[in-house]
Amino acid sequence: MKILILGAGGVGGYFGGRLIEAGGDVTFQVRPARARNLAANGLVIKSALGDAKLPVRTIEDAQGAGPFDLVIVSCKAYDLAPAIEAIAPHVAAGAIVLPLLNGMRHHDDLRARFGAEQTIGGMCQIETTLSPAGEILHKSEFARMVFGPFEEYPPTPRAQAVVSDLATLCGSANFSARLLDPVDQALWDKWVMIGTLGGITCLMRGATGDVMAAKEGRELIEELLQEAISVATENGYPPSADYLVNARKLLMAPGSTFMASMLRDIEKGGAIEADHIIGDMYRRAHEFGHDANVLRMVYCHLQAYEARRARGGL
């Protein structure tokens, strides 16, 4: 199986590098500056699970490349539109698309552009960042990828074969992986978690433990969590009781330094996935008739940050 990964940042670079270690045939489609960095230094991973320095193949556009069996999209949601156009020639040549983004709206966008038969669902759980030198810094011992077909869109024989081959390859890779058929519940569970985590830590500009130290901090986290749960439930995917027990443990641990990557992006003055993660959840809640007052406040807060950033006011 030939795999193309769009992007070689913290997510795409980490999982792509581990797949190469496992013997995978992996190519990265990257921008020119990143291509030069990788050519000069290799793909460098620094992790408690094992460091790596790997020579990698890169392309800067789709001309003359491939064909590929699978395209893994690992960009941020605000880069999805150009990413779709960048991978379009590969998909036209028969590649199956696996996105590793947060939220759900990108699946609709990908299906609208390429058709349900060439897209599968996926998500990852990992804490990584890219160093100024282009090294992938894995900041915990947790790295997990989940993927599979959607309940509403049964896979074609080709997509099923690609998914099966990926599962086999991941079985030898230095990260946890799980093939789920269907994958929908896992994607909704992740959105409930990341929506609550991103929302509360960005709104309060602190880690979950900092919020817990505030008067009524726990109550505010719970209110936002309930709003996220209501959206998943209205869409037919309520989180299980066991999942919520674990989610509350992570979100409400006193003294925890747990925070969303979106808060780190804000602290660096960077672009954020406000509309994709929080805005889309708020819109869905509103469509179902829920007030979602905390989601509304979070979304307004993030839009104000984006407006200030756009005018150069940071």
Hey, which residues are catalytic here? 190
Q: What is the rounded distance in angstroms from the CA atom of residue 171 to the CA atom of residue 165?
A: 10
From the list 7, 22, 144, the residue with the least C-alpha distance to 71 is: 7
Sequence-ordered list of residues with C-beta below 8 angstroms from that of 133, at least 6 positions apart, any chain: 41, 44
- Token pair 């921008």 is found at 31
User: For residues 227 and 292, is the Cβ–Cβ distance under 8 A?
Assistant: yes
Q: What is the rounded distance in angstroms from the CA atom of residue 17 to the CA atom of residue 270?
A: 26
Neighbours of 53 (CB within 10 A): 12
Q: ω before 67 within 30° of 0 (cis)?
A: yes
Handedness of CA 257, 263, 265, 266 (dihedral sign): negative
Handedness of CA 246, 129, 137, 253 (dihedral sign): negative
